Amino acid sequence: DPRSLRSTLESLDGRGYASYKQLRGRHDLGPATLAVDHVQVDPYAPPSLMRLLVPREAADLPADLVDTAAGRTAVADFLTRRAAEAARRHGPDGRDAGEVSINRPGQEVLERTSVVIGETHVEARLHVALPAAGRRIRGRDAATLLTEVLPRLAEEALHHDALDAAALRAHVTLHRDQLHLRGRLAEAGLVAVVGDGAILPRRSGDSDLPMDAADAVPFSSPESLRVTFELPSGSTVTGMGIPEGVTVIVGGGYHGKSTLLRAVERGIHPHIAGDGREWVLTRDDATAIRAEDGRAATGVDISPFIGDLPSGSDTRDFSTTNASGSTSQAAGLAEAVEAGAKTLLIDEDTSATNFMIRDERMRALIPADREPITPFVDRIRPLHAERGVSTVLVAGGSGAFFDVADQVIALDSYLARDATAEARALAEHPEGPTTAGPVFAGERRRVPQPSSLRSGRGKPAKARGRTAIQQDRTTIDLAAVSQLVDPAQTAALAHALDRLDEMADGRRDVVELIETLCARIDAEGLDALSPHRGHPGAMARPRRQEIHAALNRHRGLRLS
């Protein structure tokens, strides 16, 4: 009971920090059970891992909000935000008096490990830095933290009495409406929708918060592309539908092209109310492709884009430890298609020009047999015709894509206009390029060798912020994987790589392995990625596309 935990902690006052070890196990705190899964070895180590378990009856969540996986994700997200708020309000602030936190979500609603709605309990997974004076235990502060702060946190964040039921319902309703709309896109022949009134620009380059409403021009759909969706909640959303096929976004510099594309990239995840992108929703396989020179690639078929290289290497089975701009973009594209992308999102700002286009004069000067690259402009239509892969592309610097565009959206001072007819009138070869026979026919199965995803001494992979995974002495650089939005997703990816390494049997290919892993997460929850039971650490679910992206950037990957 809480009093005995208090007296235990008080008796530890002044002892060496390692004595905190005896906290391991379960303690009754009154409003919650505290499960202490991992105790930090010293005050400078990562915080201890603890869980608060509140019985379902005490949480008393409305049954109709938690009866589906999507509902549980939204409810858990809501409770996580409340717990983070309560921890901030009541927690001590600093190492001496200790610290309590829970993984804080950003602007997206993602499936997370921070709060889990289980059969019998609602569980919050906390990070608790236990109070220290030097390397000694501060028993009284620890007692306050564990027997006063944590019960209060449990009551405020997880108990029914403090629940703002209307806010919870609104949160879940928005989430369900968003997923419903996203699920309707395919049958409507759309790859994305951008809602009228949406605030696309962010406050700054390093912030994901919306630009002040006073400064931002709200999105407004051109009439010819306008679509309306009825939502399960009964409301309707109107906005610009981006159809399947080839869509080119044009406009002067600084007129908002990249901002629109970036919002579409992020529309794979639902955003919270007030974000400005609530009604920007994109098919969940859509993948951003960019140049990323210096990256590694392993056994990728880039032959539709790049033929015989001066080095003599076979581009149907292309491997490099140091890709060029164009080969990296070709590899990223081929990998995205392998991972199941039916929509590609490409910005001129982050593309290799020679991968994208080649103009008439260059075609005249450099004969085709001296140029290994077939530019994307010549492959964008076969990609759609042969593989059903659509492209949304920002191209403000070249009209070459007018020949191949199904629709052209022009941005003028952040306002979208349908410029398809004007662009078509300017097209030089309105019939588009001709190709002799299919170019995307080859279907390469890439089968990882067992143990090739664990370098060196087989240490577990560890996330370093959002953009990197460290594995022994090698680093997997994910900075260019722009649809990876949260460091907790990167933490999940690190575990996913280890699980994939365990699964690799020399028979199953990359796609089969990742599908199997995703099916396991669907069945067992995100906790399944963790190597141990109890508190799994802070994870958020990445898409299968990002699992592919991490695996494909692994420098140790070897194929059978």
Residues in contact with Mg ion by the rule CB under 5 A: 258, 349
- Residue 200 binding result from ligand ADP, Mg ion, none, given CB thresholds of 5 to 8 Å by partner type: ligand ADP
Q: Based on CB atoms, which residue is closest to Mg ion, 212 or 349?
A: 349
The whole-angstrom separation of Cα 486 and Cα 472 is: 23
Range 155-169 burial, b when 16+ CB lie within 10 A, else e: bbbbbeeebeeeebb
Minimum CB–partner distance for residue 219 and ligand ADP (Å): 7
Minimum CB–partner distance for residue 480 and ligand ADP (Å): 18
- Residue 173 binding result from ligand ADP, Mg ion, none, given CB thresholds of 5 to 8 Å by partner type: none
**Cα atoms in the 13 Å half-sphere on the side-chain side of 32:** 29
Minimum CB–partner distance for residue 200 and ligand ADP (Å): 5
Task: Please answer whether residues 154 and 124 qualify as being in contact, where contact means their C-beta atoms are separated by less than 8 angstroms.
Answer: yes
- Residue 328 binding result from Mg ion, ligand ADP, none, given CB thresholds of 5 to 8 Å by partner type: none
| In the block, residue with structure tokens 């140091």 | 322
Starting at the earlier edge strand, list the strands of the sheet with 474-477: 462-464, 468-471, 474-477
Q: Which residues bind ligand ADP (CB under 6 A)?
A: 200-201, 211, 215-217, 251, 253-259, 414
Minimum CB–partner distance for residue 199 and ligand ADP (Å): 7
Minimum CB–partner distance for residue 276 and ligand ADP (Å): 10
Tokens representing residue 489 in the block = 């997703």
Q: Based on CB atoms, which residue is closest to ligand ADP, 109 or 480?
A: 480
Describe the crossing of helices 510-524 and 544-552 by its angle, rounded to 10 degrees. 140
Nearest to 86 by CA among 143, 150, 28: 150
- Residue 65 binding result from Mg ion, ligand ADP, none, given CB thresholds of 5 to 8 Å by partner type: none
Minimum CB–partner distance for residue 229 and ligand ADP (Å): 22
Q: Based on CB atoms, which residue is closest to ligand ADP, 255 or 541?
A: 255
Minimum CB–partner distance for residue 249 and Mg ion (Å): 9
For residue 380, what are the contacts with CB-CB under 8 A and spacing of at least 6? 246, 391, 393, 401, 404
Handedness of CA 216, 182, 382, 422 (dihedral sign): negative
Q: Based on CB atoms, which residue is closest to Mg ion, 249 or 272?
A: 249
The whole-angstrom separation of Cα 219 and Cα 217 is: 6
- Residue 524 binding result from Mg ion, ligand ADP, none, given CB thresholds of 5 to 8 Å by partner type: none
Q: Based on CB atoms, which residue is closest to ligand ADP, 127 or 417?
A: 417
- Residue 401 binding result from Mg ion, ligand ADP, none, given CB thresholds of 5 to 8 Å by partner type: none
The whole-angstrom separation of Cα 320 and Cα 351 is: 19
Q: Based on CB atoms, which residue is closest to ligand ADP, 392 or 488?
A: 392
Q: How far is CA 496 from CA 1, 142, 223, 543, 552, in A?
A: 38, 35, 44, 11, 13
Q: Based on CB atoms, which residue is closest to ligand ADP, 249 or 339?
A: 249
